[in-house]
Structure 1
Amino acid sequence: MRKSIFITFILLFNFYLAFSADSDLKTLHDNTQKTLTTQPAYFDSSQGRFIPQCGTSHFVEFNFVKNQAATDPSKSLGPLFHIPRPSYGSRTELTYNSPTGFFKIHYVLAGDSAVYQPTVDSDGDGHPDYVEKVADIFDSVWIFEVNGLSYRKPPSDGWYPGGFDNGGDSLYDVYLAELAPAFYGYTVPETTAGPSFSQSFTSYIVLRNDYPVPPFPNRPIYDNVRVTVAHEFFHSIHFGYDVFEYEYIPGNADSVRPYWLELSATWMEDLVYDYINDYLAYLPFFYNYPWLSLRTFSYNFSFPDRVFHPYASCVWAFYLQEIYGTDIIRRIWEKCGAVSGFNFLTATDEALREVTDPDKGIAEAFTEFTIWNYFTGDRALFGNYYTEANLFGIEIKIDTLHTVTSADTVFVTPGIKSNPPQNFAANYVVFIPMPLSAQDSIGGLNMEFYEAIAGAGWRISAIPYNLGSVPVTSEFDTLIVGQWYDSTANWASYDSVIMVPTPINFSTNFSGWQYGYKVNYDSILSAPSSFLSRDTIFQNFPNPFVIRNPSDVTYFPVTVSEQSHVFVDILTPDGNIVKRLKTNQPLPGNSAYKNKFSLQNTGLEWDGKNEKGQTVASGVYFYRVKTQNAEKLMKLVVVREK
């Protein structure tokens, strides 16, 4: 039995609570407490490993119920009602302030919540090494996320009136405690940051006192701490923008859905600590279920595909980062914070239109995202799509595979799909060309698509794919209402043609959108091949560039349409040259260099040293990239971690 940390149900500031609200919150509180102290980690037999998770969503749900009670005229619940801070019972609570003065770490040396190796104190200052290392990691993450990426710092609890628990002062509080095996840690939204910030909440973090193997991954314990800190601290930033940024779907068993919080926090942990790759364990819950909506969320472990889908959906944030730059996630959160309550989908649409053009919003981006998701694992194309696609270890699940000969017509009646895509999801239908003669190799495929019911907002992509080659994709055109058409010429040039139907709509219909299609050979479909027509310069990665080891580098990805040297100048904010880079040899035309595998040994990598061979200081730098046909000035951030 866990004795050293417990949560009791109280009222901060002694607000009176009507019985019906009290009953609802008490029940939810008891269920939350039970989950966080007893829930076993889910074992994924397909991977042969446990899959722990974040516990923050349970407090988001609690906060929703609390807010409903507070806004109900029949109930008198004040805004300062919340779950109390953790308590260590009879154990002596100790604290340690982080070196930067950002955090206060709370811990004990004995009992169930005793920190990892409580007697190891290398510097003899009275605080265990584990506590000091946790504090250093928190400081590093703050510098990365707030100073480096320009996110708003979490609201301070220093204004709390005397006698009410704010951890002792205005520092951000972190409690080290024993948790159920299912959880890395959690972040608790507490109360409004002030009368003019109704959706901006203070918070605190509860982190594990240790990370036993199993259920946690068998890697250095501080790597488990690192990904947890990066994830949970981003939640504290989330709550500073908008604590109500979750989708509420009434009448649903999982009505409170903070999928955007978990999606973006999982993305952030990999951005801060790119080498750990904790997110890879979640990916099967996305790639094995492509028909599940981006808006999928569940608290019920009877449905692990839905429980872990939000974490696996971090690939949406990876896609946005690689196309629009790291700042796009912050832009979306800033728009979320400008409106109290859920507006993630519209905020994303607005942010994308601002950074590209008014005609390319969330529908266009998500359609392209579904194409990216086909090229992972064994289908990864070095230099294209996800930078780490080859590490994913999984490919998207195919809905249906058809072999098509020149004598065939494939027809699927609308309405018979067993797993039709939900909104913001996709199916992958693959056609394998099989010409019956050399003469038949000249033509191509006609493809018609039919909706079963109006309102889906269909976007249908065609991917003519030849193993190892970058495809030139297309989108189906509307023939008549409810019917779309596309064609692929030179069908014998491809190993397969993939049709990707994607419904883009904001409805709460999660039963899936049915469709049908017809595909047949057409002898007149032939066309010349396509090639890259322009050079493209992308954001460096990783950015921020965290320097921990001499081997750390950041890369400068490009595509070139014709043979070209590429030049990179690293600059200080006032324009002074820090370092000049040049490709070792001209890059061949019609080629892409977009991930670290294709960029290695090209000369388009920087180790963080200046022309004198000295490692540069932390800070903001600029860089100018020049190819034969393009030139671009961009910003990068350097963070030196001790």
Structure 2
Amino acid sequence: MNKFRETLSIVFVSVITITAQNTDSLFNNFWSAYSFSEQERIVSEEKPLILKCGTNHIYYLKNNFDKLNINQQNKIASILQRPSTQKSLVSPSGYFRIHYDTTGIHQVGYSLTELAIAIDSVYSFEIDFLGYPPPPPDGIQGGDDKYDIYIQDIGSIYGWTDFASTSNSTSFMVIDNNFDIHYTKGIDGAKVTLAHEFHHAIQVGSYKYRSEDSYYYELLSTSMEEFVFDTINDYYDYISGYYNNPQAPFYATFGGGYDLAIWNIFLQNKYGYDIIKRGLENVVNHSALNAIALSISEYGGSFKEDLAEFGIWNYFTGSRAKEGKYFKEARFYPKVKPLMNMNFRPTSETVTVNSNPSSNNYLLFVDFSRGLPDSLVAIITNCDYQSKARTEFSYTLYSFNASGSSQINDLFYSSILSNNRQIFLESVIFNNELAAEGRTERLEIDYAYPQPFNYNKHSYVFIPAAADQSGKSSLNIYTIGMDLVFSGEKNIFATDKIVVRWDGKTANGERLPTGVYVYVTKSGDTVKKGKLVIYNE
């Protein structure tokens, strides 16, 4: 996580400085990443500050070159031009020319053959399959009218797209020569960068680029990495920016837009790929957030309702992921961090939040009145996308049917008070189930699930336990020959079933061989026994 915080800091600073027109800070931000070397990391024993994409930095520095001092201008001038390289090759499709060096600091550290095949795959997916128009040809720049990709040592930056104007523009791409100090290294780092930067080329080639909407172009390009190269998952390194701060406004999250690739993944799951393309078409004449809302309405949806549903999807991640529902890769995502965490004291609890527009606010209440703790998460969605003003609301949770309240389940009621009540929606998770779908009683069961437990598909297996005031249960796992392979104390998990959860590993973190195992739990004086099947493929 330390690495992520350093990654996050450089992205977030860049968003602030561009808005503030602070050229010194922006230059220093870019230069510290560009000039960072692996040798510097070894000597300093510090992790690099990773800059995911330098596109907006390059655009800003080119357009504000006269505001830089002489020393800064001398450093950056050559970077703002097309690089000169020793050799070039044409991709198998004939559309791309890849410029590279075979010796010196810019020498390529991965397979050029794989790279050429990868960029053709990017073109096939983004142009042929998704239907985006190709970037316009640049005449004879780079030697001919093929799209130019330059491979350079650019420190801890993944890459950038350099373009001439903000619409209908030619462009070229620069990517790192080895990806040795990045989250995703080598050829895989190069592949996702190609998918990312080529979509920037599409954005400026046929649509509209606005620096103030840079978060939108970054979430769009980052989502393309996942769509084109599903198995690489470089975007995992950035999504904690959103999950740690979901209460931030959509247009100013803590990850500069890279953390919001999950939004496009959500849209694609719900509507298909075309809605994402339609959003880019709408951004020509509308701000990014208005363009997103407009495209959703054109597909029969509502931004207000979708943002609230997005909040639900983002709750069911990590160990809370549900097989076959919500995000396909949810078990690899971090858990969302609540804005507030409090114990519920009957008969009511009230909190007041000065909420950001276009945000999800997670309020966690824990109630011990029934012995085992009940958890209730109220997701209050501020659906305002037409304003940048904060709006205050008061949320009250009741254990009785108070006047003006709405029923959550047979245990709780709630109310939201605000001067602008219509912009808010409420979703409630009770004991890790949607309140609208779940039950309030906890059931004792006599089976473990999922069965079989597969390390490649599941994060945890849930094992029967009995209710106990301590909230704890011992867990022992044996082979079929009754050899002990795991022993420990577990929290009784907050769900509609009384269970403990286990990751299928020994106390040393080792996976077990495929086979049948015996579980034994003891909660107070109650013992439960059974069998479970583990697959270690």
Per the alignment, residue 398 of structure 1 pairs with: 338
Bigger fraction of residues in helix: 2
1:597/1:230 Cα in 2 relative to 1: closer, same or farther (>3 Å)? same
Structure 2 distance, partners of 1:506, 1:527, is 30
Q: Is the 8 A contact 2:183 2:237 kept in 1?
A: no
Mapping of residues 118-157 of structure 1, within 5 Å: 130-157=111-138
**Shift in Å, 1:58:** 0.5
Verify the 8 A CA contact 1:426 1:501 in the aligned structure 2: yes
Matched with 1:348 is 292
The 5 A counterparts of 1:351-500 are 351-356=295-300, 360-392=301-333, 394-405=334-345, 407-412=346-351, 414=352, 417=353, 420-435=354-369, 495-500=374-379
Letter in 2 for 1:157: D
**In the alignment, is residue 271 of structure 1 matched against residue 271 of structure 2?**
no
Shift of 1:146: 0.5
What is the match of residue 98 of structure 1? Answer: 91
Structure 1: how far apart are the matches of 2:386 and 2:36?
A: 33
SS for the counterpart of 2:323 is coil
Compute the displacement of 1:515 (Å). Answer: 2.8
**Which amino acid in 2 is paired with 1:148?**
F
Q: 1:518 to 1:27 in 2, by over 3 A?
A: closer
Structure 2: how far apart are the matches of 1:227 and 1:526? 43
Whole-angstrom distance in 2 between the partners of 1:361 and 1:31: 41
Contact in 2 for aligned 1:63/1:189 (Cα 8 Å): no
Please state how far the C-alpha of 1:63 moved relative to its aligned partner.
6.0
Q: Distance in 2 between matches of 1:133 and 1:66?
A: 36
Equivalent-residue separation in structure 1 for 2:66 and 2:291 (angstroms):
23
Alpha carbons 1:290, 1:421 under 8 Å: kept: no
Query: Deviation at 1:175?
Result: 0.6
Seen in structure 2, the aligned counterparts of structure 1 residues 435 and 203 have a Cα distance that, compared at 3 Å, is same
Distance 2:317 2:342 in 1: 21
Deviation at 1:388, TM superposition (A): 1.0
Task: State the aligned residue count.
Answer: 376
Q: Is the 8 A contact 1:138 1:229 kept in 2?
A: yes
Q: Does the 8 Å contact 2:171/2:201 carry over to 1? A: yes
Change (3 A) 1:329 1:498: same
* Partner residue of 1:295 out of 233, 251, 273: 251
Alpha-carbon contact 1:328-1:351 (below 8 Å) kept: yes
* Pair 241,207 (structure 1): closer, same or farther in 2 beyond 3 Å: same
Matches within 5 A, 1:170-181: 170-181=145-156
C-alpha distance 361-66 of structure 1, shift in aligned 2 (>3 A) = farther
| Deviation of 1:52 (Å) | 4.6
The alpha-carbon deviation at position 229 of structure 1 amounts to: 0.8
Q: How much does 1:34 deviate?
A: 3.0
- How big is the shift at 1:116? 2.0
Q: Distance in 1 between matches of 2:362 and 2:408?
A: 24
**Relative to 1, partners in 2 of residues 1:148 and 1:66: Cα closer, same or farther, differing over 3 Å?**
farther
Give the secondary structure class of the aligned counterpart of 1:244.
coil
The percentage of counterpart residues that share the same residue type is 29
3-state secondary structure, aligned to 2:378:
strand
Residue in structure 1 matched with residue 168 of structure 2 by the alignment: 200
What does the per-residue CA deviation read over 1:96-130, in whole Å, with 9 as the maximum and x for residues that have no partner?
1111111111112222112227xxxxxxxxxxxx3
Distance 1:175 1:326, change over 3 A: same
Which TM-score applies when normalising by structure 2?
Answer: 0.62
Aligned partners of 1:25 and 1:66 also within 8 Å = no
Give yes or no for contact 2:338–2:362 (8 Å, CA) kept in 1.
yes
CA distance change for structure 1 residues 389 and 28 in 2, over 3 Å: closer, same or farther? closer
1:209 equivalenced with 2:177 (yes/no) = yes
- How far 1:527 sits from its partner (Å)? 7.0
Deviation at 1:60, TM superposition (A): 3.4
| C-alpha contact (below 8 Å) 2:359/2:381 kept by paired residues | yes
Between the aligned partners of 2:318 and 2:49, the Cα distance in structure 1 is 21
Q: Is the 8 A contact 2:165 2:204 kept in 1?
A: no
Shift of 1:343: 2.2
Deviation at residue 84 of structure 1 after TM alignment: 5.0
Unaligned runs of 5+ in 1: 1-23, 69-80, 118-129, 161-165, 193-198, 248-256, 298-305, 438-491, 530-560, 562-595, 599-642
- Taking the aligned partners of 1:65 and 1:526, their CA distance within structure 2 comes to 54
Distance in 1 between the 2:250 and 2:145 partners?
Answer: 37
Q: Classify the secondary structure of the residue corresponding to 2:159.
A: strand
Distance 1:67 1:355, change over 3 A: farther
Secondary structure, in 3 states, of the residue corresponding to 1:295? helix
Cα distance in 2 for partners of 1:29, 1:319 equals 32
Question: How many angstroms apart in 2 are the aligned matches of 1:30 and 1:523?
Answer: 58
Q: 2-side partners of 1:285 and 1:436: how far apart?
A: 35
Distance in 2 of aligned mates of 1:380 and 1:65: 46
CA distance in 2, matches of 1:139, 1:355: 31
Deviation of the 1:422 alpha carbon: 1.9
Report what 1:9 is aligned to.
none
Q: Which has the higher contact order (CA 8 A, sep 6+)?
A: 1
Where in structure 2 are there 5+ consecutive unaligned residues? 1-20, 42-46, 68-76, 412-436, 438-455, 459-537
Map 1:212-361 onto structure 2 (within 5 A).
Answer: 212=180, 214-217=181-184, 221-247=186-212, 257-296=213-252, 306=254, 308-337=255-284, 339=285, 343-356=287-300, 360-361=301-302
CA distance in 1: counterparts of 2:259 and 2:58, whole angstroms: 21
Residues 67 and 332 of structure 1, relative CA distance in 2, 3 Å threshold: farther
Deviation at 1:258, TM superposition (A): 0.1
Aligned counterpart, 1:34: 31
Aligned-partner SS, 1:156: coil
Q: 1:66 to 1:200 in 2, by over 3 A?
A: farther
Matched to 2:92, the amino acid is P
Does the 8 Å CA contact 2:215/2:257 hold for their aligned counterparts? Answer: yes
Structure 1 counterpart of 2:400: 522
Contact conserved, 2:168 with 2:204, CA < 8 A, in 1? Answer: yes
Q: Which residue of 2 aligns with 1:553?
A: none
The one-letter code of the counterpart of 2:168 is S
* Structure 1 residues 428 and 504: CA distance shift in structure 2, 3 A: same
Q: Counterpart of 1:167?
A: 142
1:115 and 2:108 matched: yes
